[in-house]
Amino acid sequence: MRRVTAIVIQVAMDEEAQPFLDAAREVSDPIAVGRAVHRGIVLGDATVVLVRSGIGMVNAADAAAGAIHRYGPDDIVLISAGSAGGLARGVRVGEVVVGASAVNVEADARAFGYALGQVPGMPEVYGTDPALRRALADTRVGDIAVREGDMGAGEKFVTTGIADRLRADFPGLVSVDMETTAVAQVAHNHGARFAACRAISDLCAPDGDEFATHIDDAAERSARVVIDALARLTA
């Protein structure tokens, strides 16, 4: 991996941050940057910034922009980590999805000739950095299953009815969450390298019970894959 000035791991929730804090050799005092909370942590030989953004697209975009302005933008890496809902048929709770692309599942400017999911003036989808994606996808940690796939994000927690619509509108999506595409768009706007690594916490069930049951395990699995990939990238 070429020289970096900062590696930023961004999560939405405290539950998603905790596995990184537990694995860290050193943890700095937290710093509030807007609503986001930043901590410097040492994972193996890698010094990274762990950012807890808060839930949702606006919080995620605000936190990513704050990190870029504070630590970059030149040679900064942004990694969206944590949990996601499984959208594709056959995806399983506990699998880790490494993002091949990210799309805004709530954007709809088709009346003006744009593709579904495309914000006017922006790409139809946001790609991920090939080297980062490859390192994440090649990770083999314990019994964790890792797959590459297209991700979506929007402002809704996706339950059954919404999931059915998304499968029809975006048939290639493997997972959906509430932050990844916002981070991807900010990275695109600033020329930052971007990757996403989310573990499936639920299968877009009628309520949030499945998510609540599996969030801690999903957060742990996502973190283990990210930490393993960073160890190889920074060796």
CA distance 160 to 105: 15
- Please identify which of the residues 15, 62, 202, 228 carries the catalytic annotation: 202
Q: At 32, is the secondary structure helix, strand, or coil? A: strand
User: Cβ contacts of residue 37 below 8 Å, gap of 6+?
Assistant: 30, 31, 51, 52
**Which one from 15, 16, 62, 177 is the annotated catalytic residue?**
16
Contact 208, 179 (CB under 8 A): no
**How far is Cα 132 from Cα 27, in angstroms, rounded to an integer?**
24
Whether 202 sits among the annotated catalytic residues: the reply is yes
Please indicate whether residue 16 is annotated as part of the active site: yes
Amino acid letter, residue 214: H
Q: Which residue type does 25 have?
A: R
Instruction: Report CA-CA distances (Å) from 161 to 22, 23, 179, 189, 190.
Output: 36, 37, 20, 33, 35
83 touches 211 (CB < 8 A): yes
For the annotated catalytic residues, the residue numbers are 16, 202
